[in-house]
Structure 1
Amino acid sequence: MGATAGLTEVVLYDTLVNYLVSMARTVEGAMNRALDAIVSLENPRTSVLPGEVFLLEPRINEMEIVIDEHAIRLLRRGSFSDDEMRLIVAALKITNDLERIGDIAVNLAERVVSLREMQGAQIPEELAPMASAVRAMVSKSLGALIFRNVEMATQVLESDDVVDQYRDRIFEKLLQHMTQEPKLVSPGMQFILATRHLERIADHATNIAEDIIFWVRGLDVRHGRGLEVRPSQSEQTDSAPAPDSAITENSHVLHSGVTPACNTERA
């Protein structure tokens, strides 16, 4: 009987992780469609992508509700290991960030629809590499979630500044062009909003990476407590989570496998 109960517990927590991965894949699909649409604005083949993004939003919202309900069901069971409690807490936060990425993908798709109706809309040359950087951050966050890989999550934290730099450079160039040619103001504002959307997606990917580090290692790296987390031996070999003995809370003392590094703030 005890073995059966233990198996049931494992299934319940594995189900929560599977729900998270499924939602993350759906959100990534919506985001990729929005990114493809904005960087290939003049390609008629991408004209259907905004509509596909709009259709995915209700599914993402429903997934968020399902995961929240499952997490609440687990909380009602009452008894948890440290790892299980961290998983539930992280799951509730990750679903919120995933849902927000889905919403921002919709916002980005709306920018595409508006830009397609404007004359003379020229895509900023650095928009494509910015979109690629954002795409990579979300992809690594998903990989870190699937494999419980702290090293991949840390790479996401280190990439956030790159996206911010792209945003600033694109803004400066668009502002210069809009000042010189007033007819470029309307499309320029749409592209400025688009870069803001991309930045926000990167921020949410960073949040997800922080939550994965908390889940796997028990380390809170939010709000300027950024840490460069070196992978444990188990992560280097098979990407399995570190044993409980390797998990240390960092409220006052840093984990022996981490060193102060990047500075991140939660969106």
Structure 2
Amino acid sequence: MKFLEYTPLDSINDFLSHVNLGECTIKGNLEAYSCKHTGTDRKLSLSLEHEILDYIGQSPDTDSPSLVEFLSSRSSRKTLIYLVLTLSHMYPDYDFSAVQAHRFFTEEGWDSFKQIFDTYMFEASKEWAVANEGSSLLESFYKALDEVVKLAECEIYSYNPDSDGDPFMERGAIWSFIFFFYNRKLKRVQKVFLQMGYGMRKTGIFLMTWTYDSDYWTVIRSHGSHFCVCNRSVVELQLESSFNRTHKLD
């Protein structure tokens, strides 16, 4: 996989390098890769191919027939391998050889991406509009992505790993999303990474910790990603309409 530079992505990447929303910050990036193997890619590709084939051969009857059928296709396996190779180039120090790609990638559509984007990037979109003469951040995303990978020809996937195996969920992050736009004809993958973390309140009383002994902790799972928040009032204000499930920790 080879990183590709595209100027249409520059202005969005500059904006996403740090979006200050006061109590929270958002950051992210858009990166494009060609699906051409480098020396290290070949070894990982073979490892992933064997892992998927072993899964197909040993899959229990309880597993989804559609998943097994999907993985039985050579082109489908190649797609998943390209996605994992993209992850590997993003995080070269992380071992993706046992990522079990078939478990952590979900096929999506533009509508589902748009729904997630509209929900979680609502405040950031307002900041973009102020800085860019009222233009839409989502429309800017669409135009940039379309220029790089031709969205009408793309397959869209989201990456939803277990929390323990997620190299992208940084300490202090509230939520994190990774989407891949894959164009088979162009042999090109466009990655979209978005993440929200805690900022500092002007009052200085909002403090993030990583212990579970506080009554204020809540764990939320939404669209396959994990979120940890320590102040319920902030959650209700920012993301109330988006949650699928909440669970109060004892």
TM-score under structure 2 length normalisation: 0.26
Structure 1 length-normalised TM = 0.24
Larger Rg: 1
Q: Which has the higher strand share?
A: 2
From the two aligned structures, give the one with the greater helix fraction.
1
